[in-house]
Amino acid sequence: MKRLTLFCLAILAACSLFALPAHDARFLSLEITYTLNADGSWDKDYRHQVRLDTYYAFNRALGETFIVYNPDFQKLEVLKSKTTMADGRQVASPQNAFNEVLPFAAHGFADFSHLREMVVTHVGLERGAVVELVYRIHTKAGFLPDFSGREELAMAFPVDLYNLSIKVPADRELHYRVSGLQVEAKVSSDQATKCHAFALANLKPAAHEPLAAEQSGPEIIFSTCAGWEQALALAADPAPLPAIMAEKVRKLKAQNPARADLLAALQKTVAVEMQNCTLGPEKVGWQPRSIERVAQSNYGTKLEKARLLRSMLAEAGIKAEVLAVAFGSAFAADVPAFQQIGEFWLKVSEGPHALYFDPWQEQQEFFPYRLQESAAWNLERGALEKLPATDWNQNGVDVSGALQLETDGVSGTLTVAVRGIFNRYGEMTVDNGKFIAALLKKFFPVDKVEIKKLLALTRREVRAEVSFSAKWLQEAGTGFLSVDAIHLPGLSENMVQLVKRELPLALEAPFKISLKLDLQPAAGLKLEYAAPNLERRNELGHNSRGLVVEKNGLLRFSQSFAVEKALIGPEKYPLLRELLLPYFTPDFWLVFKKIK
């Protein structure tokens, strides 16, 4: 017994020697200093010391550092790149460790081929090595409307000490906002400058969670802009719409006499036929290229494509306003900085209503579903506004009807209604039977679908009466058949894998999905088991399932699932799990026994 105990202790001691670290790497210190100069230019001084604790850290994650800059307005200086190895030896990066390449996001976009990405290859890497990197970027005045910036407070790995300093001339006012963490700025000043210093310690690594809202992690936004008019000031484009684009507008008007079809055609022209360039103002500068150049090159940034679509709408006699739409719900109206802007949309007023156009991707309906209730700056009116909201009644799927269950399959007639984010108007106009069949397959297996009557076909809603047949019943052991649990489109078990979240969960829109089915089993089938009825309701929505067995053997099944909020904060996430968890169990909800 004593020998066995000693052997177990030896095994435990050996395992402790080879225990993996909690993280692949750790930033021992991270220091960033911004200095705004009197001439409007500014410097960003960056320094970090990071310890590499695993092979992954130096082979994949941190073996190289990538720094993108714009040589037309910025100058990069790498002041130090040094590695202190585990035994204390120090190795500086040689000259050939610094190489400039074209940023990947600029590939294929000739007008942005002047951008550069400095690749710093670190040497002397091993487990326990500490890499120190120091560089400075000097930015000329005019690159942005004014001095502004954004710094994330959560890196890919933990940070022991984090220091951010922002220095501005004493006569300039700095606006800032810290979100996601509690930290106060320490303000110091002298006759020439004023410094805002933020010091934090033991920062957790950035959370990587499914369906996380954009730019929802902890961050600091800062700006010296006096207002949003200055922060988003754009020079007027003197050039008219190029002749080739004006001719295209005239052809589209002739081909689409209905206003709604013309709007859709113009939106698709810019969103689909022109390439999307993902480079943002922080790389290419705030002022966009001319509309003429954007049309000639057949690609554009988000801002450039919005301005082009506005010009094409104007050519068609439709007045549109450009909206600069903010990221998420953490918008700070008192910090005018373009870094808070995520997208650019177009707004067209139609009497008391408004249509919203996305120049980045094709729309089925002219409504900002994924951006609803976001703050936006109207560039034409020079005012803040809020995008409209939607509710679960505007987005959903309803399926109802009567089905005949046979031992070899199921057939019946259904009424199907599809609204909002689930509607695919373009697919319906091309092949409505294919779209309805694809939709029904998200609920249960479908072999054949035939549309009996099309009740409604608009960009908002599709309703149809259909007949279908399917091999719905599955073998569930000798003499038994089962009906598997119905799947609901838009729901995934991945939504509730996490017990808790750190970041808000962002759905495309609130939605409601309901089924009401009358099932008539054939004489050779007897109901053996039914999933228990369910009724879950909370402030986020509801999940209900019910089965009523009539005297004549008819089974009346109903299921309804609804979520009322599109943006769900971490504190409300348990309520969503409460609704979703019982939906994914059991694996089937009806079991029939074969009888003679």
Question: Higher-confidence residue: 88 or 496?
Answer: 88
pLDDT computed for residue 15 by the predictor: 47
Can you say how many angstroms the Cα of residue 362 is from the centroid of all Cα atoms in its chain?
Answer: 16
Its sign, for the CA torsion 502, 504, 507, 510, is positive
* Percent with pLDDT over 70 in the chain: 96
How far apart CA 483 and CA 528 sit, in angstroms, is: 12
| Topology of the domain comprising 243-386 | C8orf32 fold (3.10.620)
Task: Judge whether residue 66 has pLDDT over 60.
Answer: yes
Question: Higher-confidence residue: 527 or 486?
Answer: 527
Contact yes or no for 396/511 (Cβ under 8 A)? yes
Are β-strands 159-169 and 25-36 bridged in parallel, bridged antiparallel, or unpaired?
parallel
CATH architecture of 25-224: Sandwich (2.60)
CA 243 vs CA 21, 240, 495: distances in Å? 63, 8, 49
Beta bridge partners of 401: 414, 517
Q: What is the pLDDT of residues 112-127, one digit of tens each?
A: 999 999 999 999 999 9
Query: For 465-470, what is the mean pLDDT?
Result: 92
Residue among 517, 498, 456, 494 nearest 584 (CA): 494
Q: What is the pLDDT of residues 237-278, one digit of tens each?
A: 877 899 999 999 999 999 999 999 999 999 999 999 999 999
Task: Judge whether residue 544 has pLDDT over 60.
Answer: yes
Q: How many CB atoms lie within 10 A of CB 295?
A: 24
How far apart CA 117 and CA 121 sit, in angstroms, is: 13
How far apart CA 357 and CA 265 sit, in angstroms, is: 11
Q: What is the pLDDT of residues 303-336, one digit of tens each?
A: 999 999 999 999 999 999 999 999 877 789 999 9
**Residue ranges, CATH 2.60.40.3140, the chain:** 25-224
Assign 4 a pLDDT band (cuts: 50, 70, 90): low
CA 373 vs CA 206, 303, 509: distances in Å? 26, 20, 11
How far apart CA 574 and CA 276 sit, in angstroms, is: 37
Write out the CATH class of domain 396-594: mainly beta
Task: Judge whether residue 595 has pLDDT over 70.
Answer: yes
**Residue ranges, CATH 3.10.620.30, the chain:** 243-386
Alpha helices of 369-495 — where are they, by DSSP H?
A: 425-430, 432-440
**Residue ranges, CATH 2.60.120.1130, the chain:** 396-594
Q: What is the pLDDT of residues 405-460, one digit of tens each?
A: 888 888 999 999 999 999 998 888 888 889 999 998 888 888 889 999 999 999 99
Assign 19 a pLDDT band (cuts: 50, 70, 90): low
Alpha helices of 204-300 — where are they, by DSSP H?
A: 228-231, 243-255, 259-271, 281-284, 291-297
Specify the pTM: 0.89
The one-letter amino acid at 111: D
